[in-house]
Homo-oligomer: A and B are copies of this chain.
């Protein structure tokens, strides 16, 4: 659970650079993330931090993880938006996922299709499908953010 000083300096630099305070809560959430394996859920981080900061609230963990995502310290896995969405198009295609509004855009690509499954992926189990997932900020969100900057 103890995070090395070099890792903490990453947090320190990121927060200082954005003019954001270095709080106990943020340090502990960051440490918990570093100590975690795989792709931790909010609850897992919350329960871990709670052992050292028993009074921390779930809200703070949510807020902090959102902040860290904005700072690029962590990456939310796919749609953070808490609604399940379905793809009616079952043919092979790829996705551009907007990290702001979480809309999903389809595309195919002449340069990479048909996309083959890397050997490394097959060792995990039975493959059902493979697709490219491009994360980014969509045109609409870019325009909206530029407008607000004025």
A contact residues vs B (CB 8 Å cutoff):
33-34, 36, 38-43, 45, 65, 68-69, 72-80, 82-88, 90, 94-96, 98-99, 103-112, 115, 117-121, 124-139, 141-142
Contacts and interface: CB of A to CB of B under 8 A. Distances in A.
22 contacts: A33-B86, A39-B86, A41-B83, A41-B84, A74-B86, A74-B88, A77-B85, A77-B87, A78-B79, A94-B118, A96-B121, A98-B125, A107-B118, A107-B124, A118-B132, A121-B136, A125-B138, A125-B141, A127-B135, A128-B137, A130-B132, A131-B132
Contact of A86 (B75, B117, B130): B75
Nearest to A89: B75
A88 B142 contact: no
B90 A84 contact: no
Nearest to A78: B78
A40 B94 contact: no
A130 B124 contact: no
B124 A118 contact: no
Contact of A134 (B36, B83, B130): B130
Contact of A83 (B43, B119, B137, B141): B43
Contacts of A107: 118, 120-121, 124
